A = this chain, B = another copy of it.
Amino acid sequence: MNFLNLAETNAPFADDLVAAASRVIRSGCYLHGPETRAFEKELSEQCGADFAIGVSNGLDALRLILRACVELGRIRKGDAVMVAANTYIASVLPVTEFGLIPVFVEPDSDTMNFSWTEALRFLDENSRSVSPLNVSVALITHLYGTPCWDSHAASIMRERGMLIVEDNAQAIGALAASSGFSGSRSTGALGDAAAFSFYPTKNIGALGDGGAVTTSDTAIADTVRALANYGSDRRYHNIYEGYNCRLDEIQAAMLRVKLRHLDRETAARAETGAAYDRYISNPIVTKPTIFPDMTQVWHQYVVRVPENIRDALRAHLASEGVPTDVHYPDPPYLQPCYEGRFRPKTLTPSIALSRSCISLPIANVNVAEAKEVARIINDYRP
């Protein structure tokens, strides 16, 4: 068993992918062409946002959103951005890059996502502080494929004038339940703008780097588009000091092949996740919560065990041929690049999570294999 084998992931589509690549190679159009336009349309339809802009990768998608909001005057340098304490560092890098102050929000123990309760508590405390931060953004990460959403808390933030930016790198196809809108709504269309990553290991992965910004805000869409193309609104006319963050036509063409199979991919992961949930019964293991009112897309299936046996259980699984991973070994604020800069008083939950989590294989794992992994876990005694 592999933790993830991308040749296997892409094998069912390989002929279509080669045909798509061949079509682009022979077309002579390699950037900003028909494949990207079609992919943008298909992605906006998938999530229900008015606009999708294909960009270079997920980190750049977040960079472009924050930079666009700075250019539009909706965020000012020195503002604070609330961000999950247990996310990948790519969610935090754009915050510090643009001179914004990250406020790390500890995870909820049930969702393993940014705790809305803690976020609101922080906002209340901050507003009573003598020198309150100007908290202008909640940057929510739908970690592991579980929507991070609380429509009531989000409304309170919106009433305070905050922007809600989604890091949807891990949750394409997920649906959040809400009392704020009828039925469910896709991640990528919950906040003011969302960043998608199509890194090859993602549920919908490019064959290289790729990403997208979705939004229903025309000004954000226009600004992101310009910033991603040297800051130009037309050829050789640079209205912003921009970047080069374009999506290649060849990647757009291949993403279109794979996006057509998103529902199948989501269903396969749901089946495997359900099998893990059903068959893992070792009491030392805390399984991820399955929320009946939302669609989780299981980018990772992350169990938690006591810190002191985490490595032993991983070794036990490895010895039985089951590779595992850890997402993530350290919270971003403990990375050397942020040494001594961002350590709020108590950060126990994110550190504890980083030391207790194990990601089980989920991609291309069928029910029989999940059952076997569960048996190996159930046989384990510390």
Contacts and interface: CB of A to CB of B under 8 A. Distances in A.
Interface stretch (A213-221, A232-240, A268-276, A308-316): A232-240
A207 B30 contact: yes
A97 B332 CA distance: 24
Contacts of A59: 230, 243-244
**Interface-centre pick from A31, A56, A329 (highest chain B CB count, 10 A):** A56
B31 A10 contact: no
A28 interface: yes
Interface string A1-16: 0000111111100100
B244 A57 contact: yes
A242 B97 CA distance: 9
A25 interface: yes
**Interface-centre pick from A96, A206, A209 (highest chain B CB count, 10 A):** A209
Interface string A240-257: 111110101111001000
Contacts of A241: 93, 96-97, 337-338
Nearest to A210: B248
A303 interface: no
A97 B18 CA distance: 38
Contacts of A231: 93, 337
Contacts of A18: 18, 21-22, 25-26
A337 B27 CA distance: 34
Contacts of A351: none
Nearest to A199: B31
B25 A22 contact: no
Given A21-B18, A21-B25, A25-B14, A209 B336 contact: no
A209 B14 contact: no
Contacts of A251: 208, 248
Contacts of A328: 236
Contact of A6 (B21, B22, B28, B330): B28
Nearest to A97: B241
A206 B231 CA distance: 22
A36 to B, nearest CB: 10
A237 B331 CA distance: 10
A305 interface: no
Contact of A207 (B209, B237, B250): B250
Contacts of A207: 24-25, 30, 248-250
Contacts of A123: none
A17 interface: yes
Nearest to A9: B28
Given A208-B31, A209-B31, A244-B209, A239 B337 contact: yes
Given A31-B208, A207-B250, A243-B59, A238 B335 contact: yes
Contacts of A9: 28
A56 B28 CA distance: 20
B7 A27 contact: yes
16 contacts: A7-B28, A9-B28, A18-B21, A21-B250, A22-B22, A24-B207, A25-B254, A30-B207, A56-B56, A57-B244, A60-B244, A93-B242, A208-B251, A236-B330, A237-B335, A242-B337
Interface of A: 5-11, 14, 17-18, 21-22, 24-31, 56-60, 89-90, 93, 96-97, 200, 205-209, 230-231, 236-244, 246, 248-251, 254, 328-330, 332, 335-338
Given A18-B25, A60-B243, A248-B251, 9 more contacts: A7-B28, A8-B28, A10-B28, A21-B250, A56-B209, A89-B230, A93-B231, A208-B251, A238-B335
